[in-house]
Amino acid sequence: SRVAVIVVAAGSGTRLGRDLPKALVPVAGEPMLVRAVRGVRRALPGAEIVAVLPAESEDLWRIGRELGGRPVATEPDADDGGSAAAVRDTAGHEAAGTGGVVLVAGGATRTASVRAGLDAIGPAADLVLVHDAARCLAPAAVFDAVVGALESGATAVIPALPVVDTVKTAVPAEDPRIAPEQVYDTPARSTLRAVQTPQGFVRSALAAAHRQAETWAGHRAEAVTDDAMLMELAGIPVHLVPGSLESLKITTEQDLRIAEAAVASAGE
């Protein structure tokens, strides 16, 4: 298939206040990983799917295998002392091309998890979508819009919604016991967008941006919160397409209740 989708599901989920990896948390009875992979299959039948899982969660790897997933062998990556680089596995990719899933272990940060996913994609794909498992209810229309814009020639495409709140940047208090943090400034609301996933890219451009970011450390690495940001830093235009309220990132208990209400009203 031309399109590969990396579903990043290697986060810890501490903000949901559960002792579970987030992708294992059920939404109306089904783990987020299951809903996310099903959503990708519905939207893009035949796309290669790479699910990036926490190395230590036996439950998620079992669920991944139940989804038809094939683990890709990993080997220590000589360049960065210990992280695992996927070894391309022909059998796994044949399975992935027919709606199967390749399973790969994630890293300590979202960026590292995306990189592990990139290393596991088969040779055929020239477009890559990166999707958060936590946005497991993202509708097919958004996947279609992202792929459509890539097929029309964009190098990077992200779904986004206008922001309804006025947003301010803050100067954190040096000592919150003495003084509260203060407002630094107010970006014009009409220019702000809340961005979601799936984010879509020409594979070669995303891979190059990730190779560059691999050399970063500390604050600079921590500041990378999505893939589009790497393209912006590389000077590549990032196109916006309409996102969806259904693509909310399930982060808190409140989000979980909103997601479950959405599933119920969709009549599932």
Applying CB under 6 A, the residues found at the interface with ligand C5P are 8-11, 22-23, 52, 106-110, 113, 132-134, 249, 251
Residues 62, 29: contact at Cβ < 8 Å? Answer: no
| Tokens 């279609």 belong to residue | 144
Query: Are 107 and 115 in contact, with CB atoms under 8 Å apart?
Result: yes
Amino acid at 69: G
Min dist. Cβ of residue 6 to ligand C5P (A): 9
Contacts of 236 (CB under 8 A, 6+ apart): 155, 156, 205, 209
Pick between residue 163 and residue 195 the one whose CB is nearest to ligand C5P: 195
Asked if residue 102 lies in contact with residue 209, where contact means CB atoms within 8 angstroms, the answer is no
Q: What are phi and psi of 144, to 5 degrees?
A: -60, -45
Smallest gap from residue 8 Cβ to ligand C5P (A): 3
Q: What are phi and psi of 250, to 5 degrees?
A: -75, 110
Q: Are 4 and 41 in contact (CB under 8 A)?
A: no
Q: From CA 238, how far away is CA 242, in angstroms rounded? A: 13
Element holding 240 (H helix, E strand): strand 239-242
Minimum CB distance to ligand C5P smaller for 97 or for 207:
207
135 SS3 class: coil
CB of 260 to ligand C5P, least distance (A): 18
- Which of 108/266 has CB closer to ligand C5P? 108
Smallest distance from ligand C5P to CB 10, Å: 3
In the complex, what is the shortest distance from the CB of residue 227 to ligand C5P, in angstroms, rounded to a whole number?
11
Torsion on CA atoms 151, 156, 161, 166, rounded to nearest 10: -160
Report the residue closest to ligand C5P, judged by CB.
Answer: 11
- In this structure, the number of other CB atoms found within 10 A of the CB of residue 226 comes to 19
Q: How far is the CB of 13 from ligand C5P (least distance, A)?
A: 7
Measured from the CB atom, is 92 or 106 closer to ligand C5P? 106
Q: State the minimum distance, in angstroms, from the CB of residue 47 to ligand C5P.
A: 18
Q: Which is closer to ligand C5P, CB of 97 or CB of 258? A: 258
In the complex with ligand C5P, which residue's Cβ is closer, 8 or 43?
8
Show the tokens assigned to 25. Answer: 């948390």
**Which residue number, 83 or 139, has a Cβ lying nearer to ligand C5P?**
83
